[in-house]
Amino acid sequence: MTRENAKKLQSMMAKEAVTLLMLGGAEADTAEHEEAIRLIGEAWGLAEEETARQIERIGHGRQSVRMGAENMPPDEGDVSLALTGREVIELERELFETAVRLNDRDKRQQLFNTAQAVAEWFSLEDWITGTQEESGHRGA
């Protein structure tokens, strides 16, 4: 994984936090997402400004949800409400890869827990059998 991929991972975590807010309301707990964004930045040596920008996106998303979805800024409104099974596995892999880069056991454990929660957040079990589109690509 590269630093550029780490930035994309931070962005994905921010988007998923905004999705959580859209589905669960402005008071939904995004602390785990925000901490994952911080830890990704730390593990990959990303600029603090980039990490802060992603966390600010969550704050803007929260504010937009409070005002109503029709006021959602375009950058935050294009949130994917679902990932494919492959995307969920890739997200988990990137979180695991990031976790091992951290020099603190508690921080590694925290990202490991987030990676495990990803499977629950995105109902990975629903993807085990695959969608029709994915089924056509099996074995390729």
What pLDDT sits at residue 67?
Answer: 86
What pLDDT sits at residue 33?
Answer: 94
Cα–Cα distance between 4 and 29 in angstroms, integer? 27
pLDDT (tens digit per residue) in 92-111: 899 999 999 999 999 999 99
Would you say the C-alpha torsion 68, 38, 75, 9 has a positive or negative sign?
A: negative
Q: What is the mean pLDDT of residues 7-18?
A: 92
Flag whether pLDDT at 74 surpasses 50: no
pLDDT (tens digit per residue) in 82-91: 667 788 788 8
Cα–Cα distance between 90 and 68 in angstroms, integer? 32
pLDDT (tens digit per residue) in 115-138: 888 777 776 666 565 555 555 544
Give, to the nearest 10 degrees, the angle between helix 48-67 and helix 31-44: 160
Q: Which of 128, 134, 54 is nearest to 89 (CA)?
A: 128
What pLDDT sits at residue 124?
Answer: 60
What would the two tokens of residue 105 be? Answer: 């056991």
Cα–Cα distance between 48 and 45 in angstroms, integer? 9
Q: Alpha-carbon dihedral of residues 119, 99, 48, 23, nearest 10 degrees?
A: 10
Q: C-alpha distances in angstroms, 40 versus 10, 13, 43?
A: 7, 10, 5
